[in-house]
Structure 1
Amino acid sequence: MDLDQARTALARASRVAVLTGAGVSAESGIPTFRDAQTGHWARLRPEDLASPAAYARDPEMVWEWYAGRYRDVLAAQPNQAHLLLAQLERRKGAGFFLATQNVDGLHERAGSGQQGGQLAELHGNLSRGRDEVTGQVWPLPRPDELRLPPQSPAGNRMRPDIVWFGEFLPPAALSAAEQAFAQADMALVIGTSSAVYPAAGLALLTLENGGVVAEINPEITDLSRLAHFSLREKAGQGLAALLGTPGPIC
């Protein structure tokens, strides 16, 4: 399948499912999970900070790391890829589903999940905390008002609303994503290595059910040999080419 054929397939698809990874947010200046290990944190592995065991051992240290990441993502802005996906959702309406492995909230800030389609954050969101007693999720205060570790309105300590090593993805979000990809006429996989399961298996559901799979990634991934169309571009440039959108989206 060439670019023109992929464009035609996307235009004709009534049900489109999208999976995004760190490559989408990289163009907003947000480092990947492992690249966030800089400065003071370079001495630690992500596994030393993003796990239930690490949190039980030193919740203040874990929160300090997440508070810094939270501050960084609030300072970032949605880029062309985020905006183009929100635009695609407006076109497809209820037939559009976006699952993201990113925790920065930039898809929502760009308008995804608000144009008739659905947005599922598979790995959580840096801007939220989860009550350790009730399990309820609450938005965090602005960084300059955040006191660590934060408390919920019920007065209980909150943990970051992030999926850590050794934890399962949120069942409702994963189930919705699996259904959407299984039913999709076309799936787009953008800016992810397609190596981390179960998210990496979503596009396989589309293939198994006769749908078209297109990939956008500067590097060859585990999905590349299986996809009908694979574009070696960064997320924003690749989406602009696939959607036939000239110039930057502002």
Structure 2
Amino acid sequence: MEFQAQQLRDAFRIVVFSGAGISAESGIPTFRDALTGLWERFDPAALATAQAFRNDPALVWGWYEWRRAKVLAAQPNAAHLAIAKLATRVPKLTVVTQNVDDLLERAGCPDVLHLHGSLGSPRCFACARPYKFKGDQLDGREEGRSIEPPRCLHCNGKVRPGVVWFGESLPDDVWRKAVTAAKDCDLLLSVGTWGLVQPAAELPRIALQHEARVVHINVQPEAVAGEREFSLLGRAAEVLPRLVEQAFG
């Protein structure tokens, strides 16, 4: 059985759950992509822990600034824009992402739930107070190198990236809202994610358990079970705009 655009048009409460694949189509390297330059000597997983930051804060901060530079240079693609358009066409849309970039917001999506934090929301490693970047200037950091992190204006602690590292819990309020949306939705669109990272990967399963339809949009086919789960094969920037256009014109 194939998923029909009519089923998208008839849905009242929709969740869009996005992963690295949608941002990769804007040229942002995925977390597990081969690294270049200075970073090719390091395992990304070894840089994404609190202990790594304690051991070498300049190295970790520099890597995340390299990633932030990639985001600042990227633009939302047709999939991001299609999600923003969908938000204006349905009664209720909740956007949940595993990505730490701001491309969904720049495309026009309101109130995005970032399960894994955001590169644009650093905070103090010591007192957890938020830190504001001074504009989008990276001072040559896009070249990729170790950089001493800035200091907290309140306690002088070192500022850390505002992302969820290995060994850390997801933000409670964000996760709670995402689970509630998955339980309440009629339809969940899972876009550009392999469902490997827990607990985020549970959201499509939660939606299925609560009688919603789940549609996986990916460049590789997804194993589906039952008449309420579907797999649409292709790039998100091609499949999603076409689906929204068919449903809403």
Question: What is the TM-score with the length of structure 1 in the denominator?
Answer: 0.89
After the TM superposition, which segments of 4 or more aligned residues of structure 1 sit over 4 Å from their partners? Answer: none
The one-letter amino acid of 2:119's match is: L
> Conserved in 2, the CA contact under 8 Å of 1:98 and 1:120?
yes
Mapping of residues 29-108 of structure 1, within 5 Å? 29-35=27-33, 37-93=35-91, 95-108=92-105
The one-letter amino acid of 1:27's match is: E
The one-letter amino acid of 1:111's match is: G
The one-letter amino acid of 2:221's match is: I
Match of 1:126 in 2: 119
Mapping of residues 128-167 of structure 1, within 5 Å? 128-141=121-134, 142-144=136-138, 148-154=148-154, 155-167=156-168
Match of 1:172 in 2: 173
1:205 paired with 2:206, answer: yes
- CA–CA distance in 2 between the matches of 1:14 and 1:187? 11
Deviates more, 1:139-148 or 1:182-191: 139-148
The one-letter amino acid of 1:130's match is: R
Q: How far 1:245 moved relative to its partner?
A: 5.5
- Same amino acid, percent of matched pairs: 40
- CA–CA distance in 2 between the matches of 1:133 and 1:166? 17
* Length, aligned pairs only: 238
Unaligned runs of 5+ in 1: none
After superposition, the CA RMSD in angstroms is 1.9
Q: Deviations over 1:130-152 (max 9, x none)?
A: 12233222332323358731123
- CA–CA distance in 1 between the matches of 2:34 and 2:165? 15
Unaligned runs of 5+ in 2: 142-146
Mapping of residues 225-244 of structure 1, within 5 Å? 225=225, 228-244=229-245
> Conserved in 2, the CA contact under 8 Å of 1:70 and 1:143?
no
> Conserved in 2, the CA contact under 8 Å of 1:67 and 1:143?
no
Bigger RCO of structures 1 and 2 (CA < 8 A, at least 6 apart): 2
Q: How far 1:194 moved relative to its partner?
A: 1.1
Match of 1:112 in 2: 109
Q: Deviations over 1:22-52 (max 9, x none)?
A: 1101111111012162221111111221111
